[in-house]
């Protein structure tokens, strides 16, 4: 279940309500992740920032729902939620699978005439290059092995009898989303600056791949943090400060 006190805002969960905030930060978790992954960000954020974390179907308080059938389906619904706060400064942050979803939401916001102030994509190659490159995880053991390879899951979870088997089907469903994802040829962001974050020891994303995001946006910047694919877990304070820094003209 979602942590006690989380408010439901469409597809998002808000752990620290800040109705007077002038900035809304929308966070999109990795494959197998849930809204609670970003609950600490809500407490760390300054008073003028409201943090909303995406809750994908099939986990925590949405456990009974069937998994989404595609990233486009999720992006359509979430873009509608974001358009409800168009009077605020909106920042999107997506990690790994969440980066693809955040990008698709950013595209929909531009198409609606309400572009986000910033899109921050983390731990994921550019959509037009990774499109069609992900393999399906065909069985539970392969999903469990991939969870261990990527890291980001607490060791007590990985070693707890039966718990990893409980999480692995959700991770597999999210991995299917990545495998089915196809980027629309020619789609680009023209009004949304894109920041690309990566761990300097990420086994799946290097500087050359990060630079390919520049082909999809008018303005991009790359920031490398010490660490692997889940560099943002031990450095959440530094990462959040970077996400919220003033936009350079």
Please indicate whether residue 229 is annotated as part of the active site: yes
Known catalytic residue: 96?
Answer: yes
The number of CA neighbours under 13 Å toward the Cβ of 117 is 19
Whether 194 and 119 have beta carbons less than 8 Å apart is answered as yes
CA dist list (Å): 2 to 18, 37, 93, 98, 197? 19, 10, 20, 18, 27
Taking residue 8's Cβ as centre, other Cβ atoms within 10 Å add up to 13
Catalytic choice (39, 96, 122, 175): 96
Token digits for 84? 């409800």
Inter-residue contact 223 to 209 (CB < 8 Å): no
In a 13 Å sphere around the CA of 207, the CA atoms on its Cβ side amount to 5
* Contact (Cβ atoms closer than 8 angstroms) between residue 118 and residue 192: yes
Of 52, 95, 183, 229, catalytic: 229
| Cα distance between the two ends of the chain | 41
Report the run of H or E that residue 27 belongs to, with start and end: strand 23-28
Instruction: Collapse the DSSP code of 108 into the 3-class scheme (helix H, G, I; strand E, B; otherwise coil) and give the result.
Output: helix
What is the rounded distance in angstroms from the CA atom of residue 171 to the CA atom of residue 151? 13
Residues with a catalytic annotation lie at 96, 229
């Amino acid at each position: 279940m979602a942590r006690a006190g989380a408010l439901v805002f469409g597809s998002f969960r808000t752990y620290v309500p800040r109705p007077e905030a002038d900035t809304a930060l929308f966070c999109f978790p990795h494959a197998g992740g849930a809204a609670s992954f970003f609950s600490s960000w809500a407490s760390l954020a300054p008073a003028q920032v409201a943090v909303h974390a995406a809750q994908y179907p099939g986990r925590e308080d949405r456990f009974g729902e069937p998994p989404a059938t595609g990233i486009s389906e999720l992006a359509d619904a979430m873009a509608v939620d974001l358009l409800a706060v168009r009077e605020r400064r909106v920042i999107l942050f997506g990690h790994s699978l969440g980066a693809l979803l955040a990008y698709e939401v950013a595209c929909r916001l531009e198409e609606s005439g309400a572009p986000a102030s910033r899109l921050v994509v983390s731990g994921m190659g550019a959509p037009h290059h990774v499109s069609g490159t992900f393999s399906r995880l065909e069985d539970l053991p392969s999903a469990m092995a991939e969870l261990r390879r990527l890291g980001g899951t607490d060791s007590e979870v990985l070693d707890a009898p039966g718990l990893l088997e409980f999480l692995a089907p959700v991770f597999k469903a999210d991995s299917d989303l990545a495998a089915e994802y196809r980027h629309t040829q020619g789609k680009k962001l023209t009004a949304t600056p894109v920041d690309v974050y990566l761990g300097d020891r990420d086994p799946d994303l290097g500087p050359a791949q990060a630079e390919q995001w520049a082909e999809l946006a008018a303005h991009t910047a790359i920031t490398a943090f010490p660490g692997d694919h889940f560099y943002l877990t031990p450095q959440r304070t530094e990462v959040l400060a970077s996400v919220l820094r003033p936009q350079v003209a």
